[in-house]
Amino acid sequence: MTSSSVLDLAPVVPVVVLEDAADAVPLARALVSGGLPAIEVTLRTAAALDAIRAIAAEVPDAVVGAGTVISARNVADTVTAGARFLVSPGWTDALLDAMKGSGLPFLPGVSTTSEVVALLERGVTEMKFFPAEAAGGTAYLKALSAPLPQARFCPTGGISAASAPSYLALPNVGCVGGSWMVPGDAVAARDWARVARLAAGAAALRG
């Protein structure tokens, strides 16, 4: 799998924050059944690595990735846990080297034109645009498409079911990241049927 295939697996990549690793497998199964196989589990909680490990082992149809990757240690830990792609909110030379060295597809985070150009210099053409809404949204990405058409993005941050189609309509957007299909109350209630319904709606979004 290439990073391009991560962008192309589905129009939406769920961004998941799990407090309890026991929820990882049923949540992943609900997302996959709704048509969202690529799942970004963020490293924001103590349960994240165990969640990645469980999904990788028990949900073969899921493509589980690690989000909020900000250090070489994060890269090593998530590779060991079974992550199949990496996503960072930003990047440094050291972090980029670690992600490249992992052999996994990765999406380094950018929010400025200079960051995009710097990554293109290093041969990276696929990136996370974060925080999407706060950093300029669709207008910013549309403006980037003319001078930098070789860059492709997964915008994440503040995107909703209502705003996602406008992002997906842009030529330089492969998919969007979002969490509206995994609302906290549904996860807390373990309402996996609701998650599956919301995932199905997200999977049907097209630009």
Q: Which of the residues are catalytic? A: 40, 128
Structure tokens that stand for 107 in this block: 């999406």
In which residue are the tokens 């293109």 written? 120
What is the C-alpha R_g of the chain? 16
Partners of 152 in the β-ladder: 126
* Strand-by-strand arrangement of the 176-178 sheet: 106-107, 85-87, 63-67, 38-42, 12-16, 176-178
Rounded-to-integer distance, Cα 103 and Cα 184, Å: 33
Structure tokens that stand for 172 in this block: 């330089």
DSSP 71: S
Q: If we measure between CA atoms, which residue out of 120, 78, 70 comes closest to residue 102?
A: 78
